[in-house]
Amino acid sequence: MRISDWFFYFVLSFLLGILLASLKINFLIVIGFVFLLILIFLILQKQKIIPQTKKWLFVPLFVIVAFFYYHLDLVIFQKNNFILFNQMLNFSGMVLNHPTIQNNFQEIEVKLMPPQRGKILVKLSRYPTVSYGDILDFNGVIKPLSSETKYLIKERINGVSLFPKFFIRKQNAGSFIKAALFKLNDKISQIFNQFLPSEEAGFLSGLTFGERANFSPSFKKALSLSGTTHLVALSGYNISIIILATMGLFSFFFSRRLSFFLTILLIIGFVLMTGASSSVVRAAIMGGLALLAKEIGRPHSIRNAIVFSAFLMVIFNPQILVFDIGFELSFLALLGIVYLKPAMIKFFSLSEKPGFLSWRENLLTTASAQLAVMPILISYFGLFSLTSLLANVIILEFIPLTMFLGFLMVGISFISFFSTLISWLVSIFLKLEIIIINVFSQLVIPLPLSKNTSFIFFLIYYLFLLAFIFYAQKIHQPILAEAQK
């Protein structure tokens, strides 16, 4: 087998080990599982189903390597934290992120300063507004993570403080580059608000930066019920639009190599500016790998790009594999598009042409992604609506043009007449998209499943999808062979 194939199986084995460790599986059970895998490989080799090589025997051992890596990372994480919990005390820290502003409070991540160590989540009163890089002095209580806040460990957060008293001791103590990127984010959002009504400006900020602070509770609910929340989650779809647009723009003015480096720098800046959520990081890594493969003239393996992206993210933070729903949804949706979509086309003998206004392409892409993430959506949110497929098919027709017009409006905002003209156009599309979201939020046809649905049911569901993909590929091969004769 090729080196790229071995890379795939070794990384997949490593990710499996991280998963088992995250699920708190007993080490003796993991050892038994590894020996079972080795036995299976020996049988497959004897039956000449897989190549006769000892390398196969090392693949399961990466499960154990990953298992130890997870626990080593956890030990190092705990060692680097020293927090006095459940005590009224004075403590200080620096704001690490762009604050999330709600109606009556702001939420920030804070890196504690000596004598304490670690990172905590802090909810503060709405005013005075704080910024990235501010050093704050607090008086309050830090609580350890509970079962409701355990998911915060994926952000390397080890405690929560709710509405402590505070004052700003110093400003601009963080990275100059990161601060500038956050200010650029704010500036663009201000331009959106300057030229568009509040609801439309908020939705456009969601499409471009994943911002949801200005969403009303009713609109958040409408997004959830209509199955269109992913539009404001900065998925690979949004990032791919930005990458293609910027690469095309740079290529118009610069050489191919310079355009490549400028696009990579822009991707990195965009990731930092939007808070580096899992879906953005995954999409950015995969987009960067695709650009790199094109630049150096090497074939691009989407399969290896997926596992390599997951590997990089899990090496950096093993906790995201289980505790980060954004990570799970992002990769499952991508796997659905890459593997389930072609299987559906082959099994149902569908045309691969996109169709009028790309309706067929959007339908298949949405259906494959939604089917891949359906168990996760039900497990976390207790709802999956069948009408979400139609809602996405309709609304995805307009999103690329909406984002393009939004950035164009920002780019020419210094020319009042033209920016006003563009704002009228983008406002029309935003109004239409919001109407579609609200209409489909009233047309919910939920599956008869709930959060309490058995894990075994979802396991069987994914095994069925895998069987369907393999079967579709198998029945397609004889047809293809016959056509080539």
Residue 273, pLDDT score: 84
Residue 115: half-sphere exposure toward Cβ, Cα within 13 Å: 3
66 and 118 fall within a common domain: no
pLDDT reading at 322 higher than 50: yes
47 and 96 belong to one structural domain: no
Of the three residues 157, 174, 191, the one that is the final residue of a domain is 174
Q: Which range has the worst mean pLDDT, 161-165, 407-411, 425-429?
A: 407-411
Under a CB-based contact definition with an 8 Å cutoff, are residues 162 and 105 in contact? no
* Mean pLDDT within 197-207: 91
Residue 480 confidence (pLDDT): 40
453 located within any domain: no
Do 101 and 50 belong together in one domain? no
pLDDT at 161 over 50: yes
Q: Residue type for 124, please?
A: L
92 plus 153 within the same structural domain = yes
Question: Residues 172, 173, 177, 180: what is their CA dihedral angle, to the nearest 10 degrees?
Answer: -20
Nearest-angstrom CA–CA distance, 250 and 291: 13
Which pLDDT belongs to residue 482? 42
**Residue where a domain stops, chosen among 79, 109, 138:** 79
Q: What pLDDT shows up at residue 425?
A: 92
Mean pLDDT, to the nearest integer, of 262-287?
80
Least confident of 144-158, 285-299, 470-484: 470-484
Quick one: 92 and 75 in the same domain? Answer: no
With a CB cutoff of 8 Å and minimum separation 6, the contacts of 28 are: none
Residue 470 falls within a domain, yes or no? no
Give the pLDDT score at 483: 39
Which pLDDT score is estimated for 315?
Answer: 92
Q: Is the pLDDT of residue 270 over 60?
A: yes
Separation between Cα atoms, residue 277 and residue 286, nearest integer Å: 14
Give the pLDDT confidence of 5-57 residue by residue, as tens digits: 778 888 889 999 999 999 899 999 999 988 888 888 788 777 776 667 777 77
Quote the longest CA-to-CA distance of the chain: 80
Residue 345, pLDDT > 70, answer yes
Mean pLDDT of 285-311: 76
Same domain, 133 and 154: yes
The domain tally of the chain equals: 3
Residue 457 has pLDDT above 80, yes or no: yes
Q: Which of 54-58, 66-70, 386-390, 418-422 has the lowest mean pLDDT?
A: 54-58
Residues 399/400/406/408 CA torsion (nearest 10 deg):
-160
Q: Is residue 68 part of a domain?
A: yes
- Proportion of the chain above pLDDT 90, given as a percent: 28
Under DSSP, the state recorded for 155 is G
> Does a structural domain hold residue 183?
no
pLDDT at 87 over 50: yes
* Residue 458 domain-assigned (yes or no): no
∠ at Cα 460 (456, 464), nearest 5°? 170
| 3-state class (DSSP) for residue 162 | strand
Write down how long the chain is.
485
pLDDT for residue 296: 67
CA-CA distance, 180 to 132, in Å (whole number)? 10
Instruction: Say what the pLDDT of residue 73 is.
Output: 94
Beta strand pairing status for 100-101 and 105-112? antiparallel
pLDDT band (50, 70, 90) for residue 163: very high
Shared-domain flag, residues 281 and 253: yes
- Dump pLDDT digits (tens) for 173-184: 988 988 998 888
Q: How confident is the model at residue 225 (pLDDT cuts 50, 70, 90)?
A: confident
Which of 398 and 102 is assigned the larger pLDDT?
A: 398
The DSSP call for residue 52 is: S
325 falls within a domain: no
Does 94 lie in the same domain as 64?
no
pLDDT at 255: 86
Return d(Cα 147, Cα 54) in angstroms, integer.
Answer: 44
User: What is each CA distance from 311 to 34, 243, 332, 369, in whole angstroms?
Assistant: 20, 22, 15, 21
Which pLDDT score, from 0 to 100, does residue 297 have? 66
Find all residues with CB under 8 Å of 376, minimum gap 6, and list them.
Answer: 325, 328, 329, 332
- CB-CB contact of 354 with 360 (8 Å): yes
Distance (Å, whole) CA 165 – CA 33: 51
Range of the domain at 16: 3-79
**Is 140 a domain residue?**
yes
CA nearest neighbour of 110 among 89, 126, 93: 93
Average pLDDT, the chain: 84
Rounded distance between C-alpha atoms, residue 316 and residue 319, angstroms: 9
* pLDDT per position as a tens digit, 357-399: 667 777 888 888 888 888 888 887 777 888 888 888 888 888 8
Regarding whether 57 and 117 lie in a shared domain, the answer is no
Work out the pLDDT band at 276, boundaries 50, 70, 90: confident
CA-to-CA distance for 372 and 462, rounded, in angstroms? 8
How many percent of the chain have pLDDT more than 70? Answer: 92
Has residue 479 got a pLDDT over 60? no
CA pair distance 288, 267, nearest whole angstrom? 8
User: What does the CA dihedral 460, 466, 468, 471 come to, rounded to 10 degrees?
Assistant: -130
Q: Number of helices (H) and strands (E), helices first, in the chain?
A: 19, 8
For residue 167, is it within any domain? Answer: yes
pLDDT at 446: 81
Domain boundary among 263, 296, 314: 314
Q: Are residues 97 and 150 in the same domain?
A: yes
* Residue pLDDT, tens place only, 123-156: 999 888 899 999 999 999 999 998 888 888 888 8
